[in-house]
Structure 1
Amino acid sequence: MGLLENSFVFLCYILFAAEIHAATSFTSFVPDTVTILATTKSLLKLNSMVNCDITTAGHICTCLVNSNSIPFETFWLSGDAGYYVYYDGTSSLTPGTTIPVRVDCKDNNNNVIGKQTLNVVVSSNQSPTFTNPATSTVTIDARVTDMYNTISTSTYTDPENDALTFSITSNPSDNYFSIGAGDGIIRAAIDMHTATTLTHKLTVSATDSYNTVSPAYVLYVEITNINAAPSIDGLPAKVFLSESAKAEDTIVVLSITDDGNLPLSPVCSATSTADNVKFTYDSNSDALVVKYDGAFDYETQSSYSITCTVSDGYLSSSGNDVLTLFITNVNEMPVFNKNQYFCVLDEGSANSNSCKLNAVITDPEDGTLTSVFLLSTNNGYRFSYSSDYVTFAVNYDLDQDALPSDVSLILAAVDSGGLTATVTVNVHVNDVNDNSCQTDALKFYSLNQLSTVMQLGTFSQSDADVTSPNNDIYFEVTSGSPSSASSHIYVARNGDIFYASKFDSSDDGTSFKLYVRCLDNGSPKTTSTTTIVVRYDELTTTTTTTTTPTTTVTTTAAPEKDIWEYDEFKALFGSLMAFLGLLALLGLIFLLCRYCTCPKRQPKLPKKKEVKPQTPPEPRALTPVTHRPAIQSSWDNFAWSNKPDAGTLDRSHYFHYH
């Protein structure tokens, strides 16, 4: 309808804008009869123009179909030389009928110029016709014909030039060939290497949507050099195999036959795909072989159905190559539920403690076990097994007997057929803290006022337990006598003994005792005790009227190692130095108070020496007493160095006068 609307607009333009001469004649249609297909469904220009001649200026020619009941109208469309009759494509036309279409032309005064009739004959759509031979044959080579290769092309004619849709049927109906629905080209639908049928009859037909081509044509296709499917010789078959078969043992030899390239490898699959892991194809021996040791077990499954196929890449064997595999029974050794067991015991006497293995031992043939025992090798005779329990057969002491703490035992099980199975039992024996620390019963030292702060010695120490923490030893002081003993004598955790703080003269002649305990870190802890005795005796000195140097002799034990190597002594010494520093500070404050701000005392005069009466000395004058100058809080109290840089206020360059 859009085209009709445009046509009317154009017609109006012709009516009101064109200036042509008045009509003088309206001639008949040439031709006056046209044919139209009954199947026409769109706007169609009929091949006959309306001849209206205009000669008077200012006049126009208007031509219309003189009936609204027929699907025809006159239009002067762009590109046309004048008015033409058009079929609007909206009606269903009846084939074999003739429709008279009368066209009236008028001038601009509405005067009829003339009337003419165009006869429209309605015809049926004609059937297309194949130009191929009714029957023909084509030969193809299967070795060089690939999928989609062209086999033949359909040719045809159609009076209306309608587009055709092609179809094909094949006998046999194996879908080897296809035809293009729009182009009529017959193509290979498969790679002809896979073809197995030699001859095909193809019947080709087509339709233009109104008519079907009659007759259809027939094409025979002959296939040469056809491929033959490979085959497996020796199957189907039945084979018996022992359940004790090992990896790579032959199940059956498979001989492959093919007209193409060899070798080819078959694919074999059991009814249950889970069983496929038990066998494999060995291309070196062309045999189906056992995949791994213990793959087959008569008690679990006694037969298998295995289907084998082989393909050359195009065709496969028939699929009827079935191997029935029967498994034969063999007496098998007992089976443990684990591949090793673990046991933990505490060292002790025979039968003192035990561990449960939770071992489950079965016989595959559901037979009986005649015995289960530990082999005597590798300390096995020191242990015993009974009713799933392992215990000591003898006293087992890791410390005194130096026995191993980890032992691998072999547990054996024997079935009624005489077969023996073994498994490892890993036994770990715990070291029990059953030995106490051994050290010196007594340590004695003699000191005097000349003895310096130092290490006096160390405790010997040992523990017969073989493992930590049972043999980890340390020392601690429990008490002292007198109680001040621990203020002067110090015992480190590792057993080192120190003279840490010097005795006073009031301690002369005293024996000091420290009671020390030696412990281990085991659980529960074991202990032993020892004693340190330190005797303090001050040495005496002799003074004569003649100036004679005093000699003091003391005997001390040489330190076993430098005392400064001990962190305990360093801490103690640091505390002592801090204390001495505090005393020095207090002394300095006292001196400053005494000599700077506090009232000053006169120094005492030295005493006169007493003279023995039997030898009275001659009278002599006393030595005059010289008073030191008063200390002033000024730089006068310092003696300056006589070095060239003495003017520098560096403390290294001056000295306090007093």
Structure 2
Amino acid sequence: APVIQNLPASASIIETTYIETLLHTINVTDLSTSITCNLTATDVPFLVKLVPNTSEWGIYLKNNPGLEYNITKVYSLNISCDDRFDADTGIMTVNIIENIPPTFTNLDIKPIINLTSAENSGNVVYTMSATDNENDTLSFNFTCYPSTCPFSINSSSGVIKLSQNLDGHPIRSYAVNVYVCDGHSLVGPAVLNVTITETVPYFINLPANMTINETVAAGNALYTLTFKDDNPRDNLTVTLTNTSYFTWDMSTNTIRVASSLPGAIGTNALLFTVADPYLQTSTGTFIIIVTNVVRAVFI
């Protein structure tokens, strides 16, 4: 008569296993060499069959078994081995391990990310981080609101980058909803709030002042302005208002005398405005004090 030597026994397997897996090899002895083992139940995601390239019988988890910890945590399998005359039975207990979903590790609070229009395509915006209890391979993806956002994500590393330059970008804020998946559970969204502000041009050497006398001739260069925008792609325009005696030479970035100065004696406040293509502006004042030349009086 057959005798099963290693049942009862138990095994554990995680609920997310989806390929056929050997759980236990049955050790059965009999004087007969013709032994058949089987599983008495047919409505379970397990089977008994010969282990490939051996004469031993194995207890297997089926392909695509559909294990769900929340529905069935333990299976008790009745195993029977017979030699056509007698049989022996044993119990195989299979414990299902719950798959723990991944968790984000760097989003205890919702981050607010402030970007400027000087940012370039390829710049890193944020790096998502997540862990998984079972060390499953994690993948990241995201959605945006509004949907046409200038971002991309590396599905493996969680690195979020700009997919385009931001100068002139028409939308100023986004909600980036990030998800992480361990192949079984999708977790999220983790929300990144991203704002985009246009850089503002500015004068580097204003306000400033100088004193000249009334004899300085028209056309003379008086001062060179320097100005900047942190977005190097912006083309800047400088304008000068409220003066008849001085002019702004954009080709050389200089202030020049425009006409004879006797009428300008005193304090002249020149107001300059620097603007980018997106109507971001700054102003600066340059004070020119024109002095009267004391001429000799002959008697």
CA contact (8 A) 1:102 1:116 kept: yes
| CA distance in structure 1 between the partners assigned to 2:134 and 2:161 by the alignment | 28
1:227 to 192, 195, 199: 199
Q: C-alpha deviations, 1:339-369, integer Å up to 9, x for none?
A: xxxxxxxxxxxxxxxxxxxxxxxxxxxxxxx
Matches within 5 A, 1:567-578: none
Matches within 5 A, 1:248-259: 259=229
CA contact (8 A) 1:166 1:182 kept: yes
Q: What letter corresponds to residue 27 of structure 1 in structure 2?
A: N
Give, in angstroms, the shift of residue 118 of structure 1.
1.5
| CA distance in structure 2 between the partners assigned to 1:41 and 1:90 by the alignment | 4
Which has the higher Rg, Structure 1 or Structure 2?
1
CA contact (8 A) 1:135 1:218 kept: no
CA contact (8 A) 2:168 2:278 kept: no
Higher relative contact order structure (alpha carbons within 8 Å, sequence separation ≥ 6): 2
The answer to whether residue 71 in structure 2 is matched with residue 96 in structure 1 is yes
| CA distance in structure 1 between the partners assigned to 2:170 and 2:201 by the alignment | 9
Q: 1:195 to 1:90 in 2, by over 3 A?
A: closer
Matched residue SS, 1:27? coil
Partner of 1:64 in structure 2? 38
Q: 1:102 to 1:131 in 2, by over 3 A?
A: same
Q: What letter corresponds to residue 22 of structure 2 in structure 1?
A: K
Partner of 1:106 in structure 2? 82
Q: What runs of 5+ residues in structure 1 fail to find an aligned partner?
A: 1-21, 231-256, 267-282, 285-311, 319-658
Give, in angstroms, the shift of residue 207 of structure 1.
3.9
The answer to whether residue 8 in structure 2 is matched with residue 34 in structure 1 is no
Partner of 1:178 in structure 2? 152
Give, in angstroms, the shift of residue 121 of structure 1.
4.6
Matches within 5 A, 1:67-216: 67-78=41-52, 82-89=56-63, 95-97=70-72, 98-107=74-83, 110-112=84-86, 114-121=88-95, 125-135=99-109, 137=111, 145-159=119-133, 164-169=138-143, 175-194=149-168, 202-208=176-182, 211-213=185-187, 216=189
| CA distance in structure 2 between the partners assigned to 1:200 and 1:90 by the alignment | 40
| Greater shift in the superposed pair: 94-103 or 166-175 | 166-175
| CA distance in structure 2 between the partners assigned to 1:198 and 1:136 by the alignment | 18
Q: What runs of 5+ residues in structure 2 fail to find an aligned partner?
A: 203-226, 238-249, 252-274, 280-299
1:44 to 2, 6, 21: 21
| CA distance in structure 1 between the partners assigned to 2:59 and 2:89 by the alignment | 14
| CA distance in structure 1 between the partners assigned to 2:150 and 2:233 by the alignment | 27
Partner of 1:364 in structure 2? none
State the aligned residue count. 220
Q: 1:141 to 1:156 in 2, by over 3 A?
A: closer
| CA distance in structure 2 between the partners assigned to 1:136 and 1:25 by the alignment | 59
CA contact (8 A) 1:229 1:317 kept: no
| Greater shift in the superposed pair: 188-197 or 135-144 | 135-144
Matched residue SS, 1:186? strand
Percent of matched pairs sharing the same residue: 22
Q: What letter corresponds to residue 150 of structure 2 in structure 1?
A: Y
Matches within 5 A, 1:465-614: none
Give, in angstroms, the shift of residue 117 of structure 1.
1.5
Give the structure with the higher percent strand: 2
Q: What letter corresponds to residue 217 of structure 1 in structure 2?
A: A
| CA distance in structure 2 between the partners assigned to 1:124 and 1:138 by the alignment | 35
Q: 1:70 to 1:217 in 2, by over 3 A?
A: closer
CA contact (8 A) 1:166 1:204 kept: yes
Q: What letter corresponds to residue 199 of structure 2 in structure 1?
A: N
TM-score w.r.t. length of structure 2 = 0.52
Q: C-alpha deviations, 1:63-112, integer Å up to 9, x for none?
A: 222234444222343488943211223665564234332111234xx343
| CA distance in structure 1 between the partners assigned to 2:4 and 2:34 by the alignment | 13
CA contact (8 A) 1:229 1:316 kept: no
| CA distance in structure 1 between the partners assigned to 2:76 and 2:64 by the alignment | 17
Give, in angstroms, the shift of residue 115 of structure 1.
0.8
Q: What letter corresponds to residue 96 of structure 1 in structure 2?
A: I
Q: C-alpha deviations, 1:367-418, integer Å up to 9, x for none?
A: xxxxxxxxxxxxxxxxxxxxxxxxxxxxxxxxxxxxxxxxxxxxxxxxxxxx
| CA distance in structure 2 between the partners assigned to 1:34 and 1:262 by the alignment | 61
Give, in angstroms, the shift of residue 116 of structure 1.
0.8
Give, in angstroms, the shift of residue 186 of structure 1.
1.1
